[in-house]
Amino acid sequence: MRAQRGAARLCTRARRRPARAQTAEAPATALAVLATRRNCRLRHQTSIHTRTRLMKSSLPYVFLTATLSLLPATVVAQYGQSGGMAPMRRYEPDAPKLPGIELEGPLDSGTARVILALNDDQGRRYAQVYDSFMVATQPQRDSAEAATTKMNERLEAGDRPAAMYYVERLQDLGKYLKDRQDKFEDNLRKFLTGDQVKAYKKWRDGQQQAIERKQRENALRWQEAAFGGFAGARVGEGGAPEFKTPVPPAPGVVAPALGAQAVSVGRGLYIGGQFGADSTGTLVGTDLRSQAAQAFANLGAVLKAGGSAPRDVVTLTIYVVNYRPADTATIRDAGTAYFGSNPPIVTIIGVQSLAREGALISVAATAATRGTPYRPGPPSQR
């Protein structure tokens, strides 16, 4: 290394030596300088040829190393952690983007009084603009509900192209309703305080996030419609597809201490027993009437979180502590939304006690989500 450095310094000095100084030197010195320059050129050319040969010989190894380093990531991306047996999710079709909270409308006037802490004057003005908005947009929201029903029916039949027709219809209606709702929210600034506007936005964002979570869960149905059956179903720990999907906890309803609040299987929604407890988990009152009203209200919230409604309930199983025949009228009055012209199957069971100390009633339900009538079992058995 020292010899190479010395030769390099000598070459540099030889190149920098002025011509005038070289002519004044002795002939022997001039010849030595010329010989040094020639050796430097030869050494430089040899170095270039050597580096070129090394680069050419190393290129295949560089390419091979890069290919091998990328291969594991490519395999995982296409075939999953378990290798080629897992579904190729890279090529699964994405679910279409659907409208969100604009299909449901703004915060209703009754709930707004509590969430936004409205005074009497603000409550009256909010009710006026809310009622005006709902009346003006009722035709579009009815059309959106009909399009959603048709879309779900086509998905249930596995006809993705037909379902996409109604998706486009929903998207057009969603754009119109979003514009109207944006104007509605801008009008709120005229009589609401800054904190109240922030509270409204917080409610709206929470509702939108819940809707988006539900849409992500429903993306499985779009994969089923594209591939048929449960080709895109989630894979459980044992490698088998999971046909049940947990429903996110409903806002304002405390999740149970054991098990899921609700699960969906295909078009069916299964809801565990709901107690008469408020959003803090505290039982409402010590009488059956108060707890029954709260239990049915909690059931309605869970139904909404699962994409269903009281009119879609198929069965109700009601557990009542120390049941008496006179309690039937109390239950009927508390759950009027469920006992209309097309009521579900109702089973009332008298029990000595419930899992929650002090609870007098528990209401469980099975419901159909929006779309075709509820039919039990996986699609292959329908």
Stretch 323-347: mean pLDDT:
91
Report which of 302, 280, 284, 304 is spatially closest to residue 294, judged by C-alpha positions: 284
Model confidence pLDDT, tens digit, residues 339-349: 888 899 999 99
Query: Binning pLDDT at 50, 70 and 90, where does residue 132 land?
Result: very high
Residue 235, domain member (yes or no): no
**Mean pLDDT, all residues of the chain:** 76
Q: How many CA atoms lie within 13 A of 28 on its CB side?
A: 0
Which residues, listed in sequence order, are joined to residue 274 by a DSSP beta bridge? 363
Does residue 10 have a pLDDT over 60?
no
- 316 lies in a domain? yes
Stated pTM of the model: 0.42
Tell whether 35 and 116 lie within a shared domain.
Answer: no
CATH of the domain at 106: 1.20.120
Residue 236 inside a domain? The answer is: no
Most confidently modeled range among 2-16, 46-60, 92-106, 228-242: 92-106
Amino acid at 39: N
Residue 377 binned pLDDT confidence (cut-offs 50, 70, 90): very low
Residues of the domain holding 197: 96-212
pLDDT tens digits for 11-21? 555 555 554 44
Q: Of 106-120, 283-297, 299-313, 365-379, which range is least confident? A: 365-379
Q: Are residues 183 and 124 in the same domain?
A: yes
pLDDT at 382: 39
Give me the numbers of helices (H) and strands (E) for the chain, helices first please.
Answer: 9, 8
The pLDDT value recorded for residue 302 is: 93
Res 379: pLDDT: 40
Question: Based on the structure, what is the number of domains in the chain?
Answer: 3
pLDDT in tens, 155-210: 777 677 788 888 888 889 999 999 999 999 999 999 999 999 999 999 989 888 88
Distances from the Cα of 205 to the Cαs of 25, 208, 209, 337, in angstroms? 89, 5, 6, 28
